[in-house]
Amino acid sequence: MTGTENTVGKVWLVGAGCGRGLLTQEGRRILSRAQTVLYDALVAPETLLEASPEAELLPVGKRSGRHSVAQEAINALLIRKAREGKRVVRLKGGDSFVFGRGGEEALALQKAGIPWQVVPGISSAIGVPEHFGIPVTHRGLARSFTVITGHTRDGAEEDWQVLAHLQGTLVFLMGLERVETICRRLIQAGKKADTPASVLCGGYGEGEKRIDGTLEDLPEKARQQGAFPPAVILVGPVAGLGLCPEAPGKKEKILVTGTLSFCREVARELAEGGRETGELPLLAAEPLWGNIPEDFGQWDWLVFTSRNGVRLFFQWFREKKRDFRLLGQARFACIGEGTARELAEQG
């Protein structure tokens, strides 16, 4: 799809999940076809490896106390890119509609007449507790769970009386700065002070930490043990089950160099094998258009030795508006499976 004034693209609101490896298969498929990706700060770096090397990657992430791009500006950027005819992915940590402001973006897109679609993601409300061995529901202990935002834009308070008398699990997102207030208000509203509670910090990330306690002592333990965001606060008997999953082993760190496309391809394969990677693109493919012959009728074979060669050759063909039937008499050969896949993707 090319961007013209008469072409309207489409936006996908994709939940990337709450940690590396949790992007869904549908999310991966959509992300690999995106031309522009607007991504949040909480998206695992490995997830961006699923995007095409040619995709435009735009960071618009928000972290507590460090808002880099206003929501209105993000909405406007989504609309502008879609009106350029682009396939746009709005990539969010967790799920777009669970405190992800995806609903606001969907409303803005719909008002602007932009087609949109949602790809669900695994929310930290359930994914992070499970990762640390805490089920949000458990027979005999919790028949329900309630997800609450730890802070609101207008400072509105929750109904603590209602929350304190719920029999299920309470899951607070983005509430680390208010952990003392949350615990105190629940006790004041009638929740027992010895109710098990946990702070789950940096789930799925390096240095992740679980801090267990009760409503009475959790704030002090969080201070003493260095709790840090992003964090999930969980209140209820399930926090006291004592389930401890096997901790993941220390990952090898590997730095990948080469062209941008090569770095992303190799880093993706290494990440799937459990390695932690970094990318350092030091090379760039520079097209030498003058070496491409004008007459293809005199050649029996076209041999491609790299993915970059395939991509640049067909880029030249399209920019020159050449007729692909000129290649009808030639036979094709590729060196390497990656080169063959790139040729197949060109049709």
CA pair distance 313, 295, nearest whole angstrom: 14
Residue-by-residue pLDDT tens, the chain, 347 positions: 334 445 789 999 999 999 988 999 999 999 999 999 999 998 988 899 899 888 999 999 765 555 568 999 999 999 999 999 999 999 999 999 999 899 999 999 999 999 999 999 999 999 999 999 999 999 999 999 999 998 766 667 889 999 999 999 999 999 999 999 999 999 999 999 999 999 999 999 888 999 999 999 999 999 999 999 999 999 999 999 988 887 665 566 788 888 877 888 888 888 777 777 888 888 887 888 888 887 777 888 989 998 888 988 888 888 888 887 777 778 889 999 889 988 898 87
Among 197, 227, 16, 25, residue whose Cα is nearest residue 124: 16
pLDDT value of position 253: 79
Question: What is the pLDDT of the chain when averaged over all its residues?
Answer: 89
Q: Which residue's structure tokens are 């009386």?
A: 161
Q: Is the dihedral of CA 49, 50, 53, 59 positive or negative?
A: negative
Peptide bond between residue 230 and the one before it cis (omega within 30 degrees of 0): yes
pLDDT value of position 66: 55
pLDDT value of position 264: 81
pLDDT value of position 155: 64
Q: Which tokens hold the place of 259?
A: 């062209």
CA pair distance 172, 316, nearest whole angstrom: 53
Our measurement of the distance from residue 13's CA atom to the centroid of its chain's CA atoms, rounded to an integer in Å, reads 10
CA pair distance 145, 314, nearest whole angstrom: 54
Residues facing 281 on adjacent strands: 258
Quick: pLDDT tens for 154-182: 667 889 999 999 999 999 999 999 999 99
CA distances from 256 to 147, 204, 244, 270, 298 (A): 40, 22, 34, 10, 40
Count of residues for the chain?
A: 347
CA pair distance 345, 347, nearest whole angstrom: 5
Q: Which domains does the chain have, with CATH numbers?
A: 10-122 (3.40.1010.10), 125-240 (3.30.950.10), 289-345 (no CATH)
Q: Residues near 300 by Cβ (< 8 Å), separated by ≥ 6?
A: 329, 330, 331
Catalytic positions, written as ranges: 40, 62, 174
pLDDT value of position 14: 98
| Axis crossing angle, helix 307-319 with helix 337-345, rounded to the nearest 10 | 20
pLDDT value of position 1: 38
What burial class does residue 258 get, using C-beta atoms within 10 Å of its C-beta: 0-12 exposed, 13-18 middle, 19+ buried?
middle
CA pair distance 281, 35, nearest whole angstrom: 20
Quick: pLDDT tens for 55-97: 999 999 765 555 568 999 999 999 999 999 999 999 999 999 9
